[in-house]
Amino acid sequence: MSSGLVNPVCLERVADACGGKLIGDPAATVFSVSSLEDATPDSLTFMVDSSKLAENHGINPGVILLKPEDSGLFSGPRIVVADPYLAYATVSELFATGFKEIGVHSSAVIDPSVSLGSNVRVGAHAVIAAHCQLGDGVSVGANTVIERDCSVGADSVIDSSVTIYTNTRIGMRCRISSGAVLGASGFGYAPDGHSWRRIEQLGGVRIGDDVDIGANTTIDRGTIGDTLIGHRVKLDNLIHIAHNVKVGDDTIMAACVGIAGSADIGKRCRIGGRSSINGHIIIVDDVVLHALAFVTKSITVVGEYTSAVPAQPARQWRRTLAHLNRLDKLVERIKKTGNKND
Amino acid sequence: MSSGLVNPVCLERVADACGGKLIGDPAATVFSVSSLEDATPDSLTFMVDSSKLAENHGINPGVILLKPEDSGLFSGPRIVVADPYLAYATVSELFATGFKEIGVHSSAVIDPSVSLGSNVRVGAHAVIAAHCQLGDGVSVGANTVIERDCSVGADSVIDSSVTIYTNTRIGMRCRISSGAVLGASGFGYAPDGHSWRRIEQLGGVRIGDDVDIGANTTIDRGTIGDTLIGHRVKLDNLIHIAHNVKVGDDTIMAACVGIAGSADIGKRCRIGGRSSINGHIIIVDDVVLHALAFVTKSITVVGEYTSAVPAQPARQWRRTLAHLNRLDKLVERIKKTGNKND
Amino acid sequence: MSSGLVNPVCLERVADACGGKLIGDPAATVFSVSSLEDATPDSLTFMVDSSKLAENHGINPGVILLKPEDSGLFSGPRIVVADPYLAYATVSELFATGFKEIGVHSSAVIDPSVSLGSNVRVGAHAVIAAHCQLGDGVSVGANTVIERDCSVGADSVIDSSVTIYTNTRIGMRCRISSGAVLGASGFGYAPDGHSWRRIEQLGGVRIGDDVDIGANTTIDRGTIGDTLIGHRVKLDNLIHIAHNVKVGDDTIMAACVGIAGSADIGKRCRIGGRSSINGHIIIVDDVVLHALAFVTKSITVVGEYTSAVPAQPARQWRRTLAHLNRLDKLVERIKKTGNKND
């Protein structure tokens, strides 16, 4: 169970937020969210699947979000909704303890040419360089650096210790987690006969609205044009997105994905953790990559793709590997055997 | 050979620290640690395996840690111990050049509500927000950010440029390397029919005593409860630990491991580099994962697990891959051949 | 197309920089670089392959870099060079908009013992500890931390939010991107019968001239000696280099590579993205690793190495995996069949 500050929320507000029907006292309050098994009279919980109830009988939540057909299973305060999990997602933000005091910390260094919207928050030791534009309600965390000529759309939250290079444009309502680096120089070199000649990366990064970017994820700036992240894209932690990549709207990527330069990923794709996508690959809309998929050719047909090998006992895998590395000889032998029989 | 500051240490202190028997002058000093082949009269070295001596004859170390049965192989200063490698690990910290001046740098921003123990160090431009508690002897590096309602146990060392989100609890004697991000928002979304609805992550992170966390490693906060890292866990660099993961005491992970949400890893596991563990997986105590293992099912039996393919010449692997992708037809053919013979 | 500041460059300067022959007005200017299809009268472009011209007929670039045999294909301003791509790389830096105002920001914390060359730039809230040496023309970005006893060679650029531990030596003309961590404690532990005893890492990091290090890449310090990165090495983002690794001159690594402790990588190697190299491995000069290669044994023969499996439709791969895991039985069956026939 988590500790920390709590935030009382009345049941009427919960029901309003998720559009559900409240059965119970609208003025009663809950203080936190809990799983079904940890439910207490002070917490809100939710039930997606009533078969889970058997192992949790006797629970007494402050309020429970549940489906119409399950409403009769509880006599206490409840909110009836079509999709309890989505309703839980929707109301979860009511319980976030908001620390975002308005105002600019006196230790922040903000160039006089920066344009700040209303209700902007800038944390201690943040640095915002010349000609940046921050929209209304933007929050910038402590020790974050925003270099020249960047813009951040209204109500976006840049957490602490983020680094944003020159010429990065971020949409509205985005959330950038700590350690993320946006707009670093892409990896571009031309061979000069002896070694590698650096190609100056002259483009920027453009990020749509409602984009989330995870901790320590890196998105390089474009070589000539911009690296493009569409609207509502969700990126987990430790993802690498190289220069000139395009990611379509509503695409979601789990942690540790790596995408090489100029790859063009469609809309509504779901990219599993630790997937790798080669440079200049095109992936159409609605493709699903399972975890650890390694995409080496463009994907033109919607579907699920994979290439990962699940772990197994080491001895067994060693035997399989040995067979795999002798497949050549095996095939040879079969051909011989086959021929004898033909 | 490394340069930098040096720290004279007398042999008596070395012998005391590792509980060994010194043969030589207790007041003599050494200034550094070296490998067997780079040993000098100013350095301490150690010998695990006396067969290495042949290629290093004539060396003249300031002192050598060695096993009882090898004591007669040297006439110079030596310390006899049962396990020379462990003894070397133990005494290595005597040679660390301690730069940790006590005190809080005047440029650090520390909220008045923060509780600081005695002998605390806070580096330049560090930011420590409201209601944090730092135990005795804690060190916080330059430019590190600790958000509200966090605690750090006695004698823990948080290096420079670390980011610690709200509601993170760190035990005693931990070491957190630069770029680590503890408590960022986990990757939780509910589909809303069109796109992805963010689920506010309301839990925290709880880290035991004697835990080491490597550079640029990320540990997300829990969705409802806390993400839990046990005592004496050691995490290398660039590891991803998602929300609600549990890692048991004494488990160790090499670099680039990725663990998806709610996985539950046992005690004393050894997780090889770049291993991947799916969400909601359970792994029992004492399991060993080789490098690059991809765990897709819970592991209930102690043992070693793997699924990696070692690199080989590209042409050879291409041939094997071609066979692999035709296994279907090969099996077909064998069945036919077999049937003819049956 | 990228926005942001622009930098007018006259054609004479372009031709001088790449050693090409200008056909056109030397005083005419261009403002940016573009791809062939986005060329405008204000931009410089380049053509490597004249077959691309068909799909881009009618373009009217400010100037085009092209091969001698293609010079007749354009009537407008053009610069004739042997290698248009290399020429583009060379002139690209003319178009970089230089924001590097000289001087030390008043909020930077620099120890009095630090030695600063001429024309050094230090950004806001940077921290430079005792006894560091920065050569002429060095640039240190905002919020970057450089700990004690480090040196940075002339004209190196350390971007914002970089962390450099004690006893790191960086050569001349290097570029270190944001989030990089140089010199963190390597991952060294000795088993003590119950758990893990930390081995203090007493070495440093030594980096040659003209080295580029990508965003959020980590290079650990040596255990006893130094971790060594040769001249002109180029490292992409999110790479892990463990303690005591050696990387030879002119070697280049794409993103997400992981190299375990004490590996010794030769000169002029090309390491594909997400490759993994085990500890204590030796790789000779001029080796090529394809993306995702997993090196488990030393490589003594020059060549290309790989072990990755390309993604395919999930159903197809599941079938192949099933066959793979039954190879044992298949081989058994073939032996039987073969024996019957022998």
Tokens read off for A335: 């051909």
Task: Spell out which residues of chain A touch residue B114, defining contact as CB-CB under 8 Å.
Answer: none
At B101, is the pLDDT very low, low, confident or very high (cuts 50, 70, 90)? Answer: low
- Identify all chain C residues contacting A304, using CB atoms and an 8 Å cutoff: 313-315
Question: How many Å apart are CA C156 and CA C133, to the nearest integer?
Answer: 12
Contacts of C189 in chain B (CB under 8 A): 89, 234, 252
pLDDT (0 to 100) of residue C57: 78
For C119-171, what is each residue's pLDDT tens digit? 999 999 999 999 999 999 999 999 999 999 999 999 999 999 999 999 999 99
Q: CB pairs under 8 A, 24+ apart, for C145-153?
A: C145/B141, C145/B142, C145/B143, C145/B160, C145/B161, C145/B178, C147/B99, C147/B142, C147/B160, C147/C183, C148/B5, C148/B99, C149/B4, C149/B5, C153/C209
Residues in chain A: 342
pLDDT tens digits along B252-298: 999 999 999 999 999 999 999 999 999 999 999 999 999 999 999 99
- Would you say residue C235 has pLDDT above 50? yes
Q: Tell whether C157 lies on the interface with B, counting CB pairs under 8 A.
A: no
The reply to whether B317 touches chain A by the CB within 8 Å rule is no
Residue B173, in any domain of the structure? yes
Q: Is the pLDDT of residue B3 over 80?
A: no
* Among candidate residues C122, C216, A103, A161, the one with its CA nearest the CA of residue B126: A161
User: B224 versus A249: which is more confidently predicted?
Assistant: A249
Strands (E) located in C222-287: 227-229, 234-235, 240-241, 246-247, 252-253, 258-259, 264-265, 270-271, 276-277, 282-283
Shortest distance between the Cα of C24 and any Cα of chain A, in A, equals 24
B55 shares its domain with B126:
no
The span from the CA of C298 to the CA of C282, in Å, is 5
Residue C2 belongs to some domain of the structure: no
Residue B334 pLDDT: 75
Q: What's the whole-number average pLDDT of chain C?
A: 93
Q: Indicate whether C147 and C248 sit together in one domain.
A: yes
The answer to whether the CB atoms of B2 and C202 lie below 8 A apart is yes
* Contact criterion met (CB below 8 Å) for C225 and C244: yes
What 3-state class would DSSP assign to A91?
helix
Q: What is the DSSP-derived secondary structure letter of residue A260?
A: -
Pick the residue from chain A with its C-alpha nearest to B338. Answer: A338
Residue among B130, B181, B189 minimizing CB distance to A216: B181
Domain shared by C82 and C141, yes or no: no
Pairing of strands C312-313, A304-306: antiparallel
Query: Min CA distance, A56 vs chain B (Å)?
Result: 17
The pair of three-digit structure tokens given for residue A319, joined into one six-digit string: 């035997």
- The band of B4, judged by pLDDT with boundaries at 50, 70 and 90, is very low
Closest to C96 in 3D by CA, of A146, A182, A198, A127: A198
Dig out the tokens for B315 from the structure.
């042409």
Chain A residue with minimum CA distance to C308: A294
The answer to whether A184 contacts C313, with C-beta atoms less than 8 Å apart, is: no
**In C, which residues are within 8 Å of A306 by CB distance?**
311-312, 314, 317-318
Within a domain: residue B2?
no
| Residue B66 sits in the same domain as residue B143 | no
Tell whether the model's pLDDT for residue C287 goes beyond 70: yes
Chain A contact for B331, CB < 8 A? Answer: no
Pair B146, B224 in one domain: yes
Contacting residues of A for C309, CB less than 8 Å apart: 294, 307, 309
Same structural domain, A336 and A248: no
pLDDT computed for residue A186 by the predictor: 87
Which 217-236 residues of chain C touch chain B by CB within 8 A?
218, 220, 222, 224-226
- What's the per-residue H, E or C state across chain B? CCCCCCCCEEHHHHHHHHCCEEECCCCCEECEECCHHHCCCCEEEECCCHHHHHHHCCCCCCEEEECHHHHHHCCCCEEECCCHHHHHHHHHHHHCCCCCCCEECCCCEECCCCEECCCCEECCCCEECCCCEECCCCEECCCCEECCCCEECCCCEECCCCEECCCEEECCCCEECCCCEEEECCCCEEECCCCEEECCCCCCEEECCCCEECCCCEEECCCCCCEEECCCCEECCCCEECCCCEECCCCEECCCCEECCCCEECCCCEECCCCEECCCCEECCCCEECCCCEECCCECCCCEEECCCCCEEHHHHHHHHHHHHCHHHHHHHHHHHHHHHC
Chain C residues near residue A133 by CB distance under 8 angstroms? none
**Residue A212 sits in the same domain as residue A270:** yes
Residues 10-69, chain C, touching B (beta carbon < 8 A):
none
Domain stops at, among A60, A95, A130: A95
Q: What is the pLDDT of residue C83?
A: 94
Q: Is the pLDDT of residue B56 over 70?
A: yes
Contact of B7 with chain C, judged by CB distance below 8 Å, is answered with no
Active site residue A105: no
Q: Between β-strands C304-306 and B312-313, what pairing exists: parallel, antiparallel or unpaired?
A: antiparallel
Nearest CA in chain A to B191: A86
Distance in angstroms (rounded) separating the CA atoms of residues C32 and C44: 6
Q: What is the pLDDT of residue B5?
A: 52
Q: pLDDT at position C342, please?
A: 43
Residues of A in contact with C86 (CB under 8 A): 190-192, 197
Which of A57, A194, A240, A243 is the catalytic position? A243
Which one of A64, A95, A126 terminates a domain? A95
Of C149, C199, C307, which has the smallest distance from its Cβ to B310's Cβ? Answer: C307
Q: How many Cα atoms are found within 13 Å in the side-chain-facing hemisphere of B131?
A: 12
Q: Is B196 close to A250, i.e. CB distance below 8 A?
A: yes
Any CB–CB contact under 8 A between C133 and chain B? no
A and C: number of Cβ contacts within 8 A:
233
Chain B residues touching residue C273 (CB < 8 angstroms) = none
Q: Do residues B239 and B260 lie in contact, with contact meaning Cβ atoms separated by under 8 Å?
A: no
Range of the domain at B329: 315-342
- What are φ and ψ of residue B247, in 5° steps? -120, 125
Given the structure tokens 């997105």, which residue do they identify? A241
CATH number for position B292: 2.160.10.10
Q: What is the pTM of this model?
A: 0.93
Could you say which residues from 250 to 289 on chain B have a Cβ atom under 8 Å away from some Cβ of chain A? Answer: 256, 258, 260, 276, 278, 289
| Neighboring chains of B (3 or more beta-carbon pairs < 8 A) | A, C
| Total structural domains within chain A | 3
Greatest Cα-to-Cα distance within chain A, rounded to the nearest angstrom = 87
Q: How many CB atoms lie within 10 A of CB C330?
A: 19
> Is residue C311 in some structural domain?
no
Residue at B250 is within a domain: yes
Whether residue A324 is contained in a domain is answered as yes
How far is Cα B114 from Cα B336, in angstroms, rounded to an integer? 77
Residues in A touching C97 (Cβ below 8 Å): 166
Q: Do C1 and A165 touch (CB under 8 A)?
A: no
Mutate to test the interface with B, among C149, C198, C228, C290 (most CBs of B within 10 A): C198
Of A68, A95, A122, the one marking the end of a domain is A95
Determine, yes or no, domain membership for A54.
yes
Nearest CA-CA partner of A270 in A298, A256, A250:
A250
B319 and B289 within one domain:
no
Contact A90 B125 (CB under 8 A): no
| B115, B208: one domain | yes
At residue A56, the pLDDT reads 78
Q: Are residues A186 and A71 in the same domain?
A: no
Average pLDDT along chain A: 93
In a domain? residue A4: no
- List residues of B with catalytic annotation: 243
Q: Average pLDDT of C233-247?
A: 98
* Averaged pLDDT of chain B: 93
Residue B118 scores a pLDDT above 50: yes
Gap from A83 CA to chain B (nearest CA, Å): 9
- Whether C180 shows a pLDDT value over 90: the answer reads yes
Q: Residue A12: its pLDDT value, please?
A: 96
Test the C interface: residue of A140, A176, A194, A198 with most C CBs within 10 Å: A198
Asked if residue C90 and residue C108 are part of one domain, the reply reads: no
The predicted-structure confidence for B132-163, as pLDDT tens digits, reads as follows: 999 999 999 999 999 999 999 999 999 999 99
**pLDDT in the model for residue C341:** 47
pLDDT of amino acid A1: 34
**Looking at residue A54, which CATH number applies to its domain?**
3.40.1390.10
Testing the interface with A: which of B167, B200, B321 to mutate, by most A Cβ within 10 A? Answer: B200
Q: Does A195 touch chain C (CB under 8 A)?
A: yes
Which residue carries 């220069």 as its tokens? A243
Q: Examine the domain organization and report whether A241 and A324 are in the same domain.
A: no
What average pLDDT score do residues C322-337 get?
Answer: 82
The per-residue pLDDT string of chain A (342 residues; one tens digit each, 9 = 90 and over) reads: 334 456 789 999 999 999 999 999 999 999 988 888 889 999 999 999 888 887 777 888 999 999 999 999 999 999 999 999 999 999 998 988 655 567 999 999 999 999 999 999 999 999 999 999 999 999 999 999 999 999 999 999 999 999 999 999 999 999 999 999 999 998 999 998 889 999 999 999 999 999 999 999 999 999 988 999 999 999 999 999 999 999 999 999 999 999 999 999 999 999 999 999 999 999 999 999 999 999 999 999 999 999 999 999 999 999 999 999 888 888 887 777 655 544
Cα separation of C34 and C50, whole Å? 16
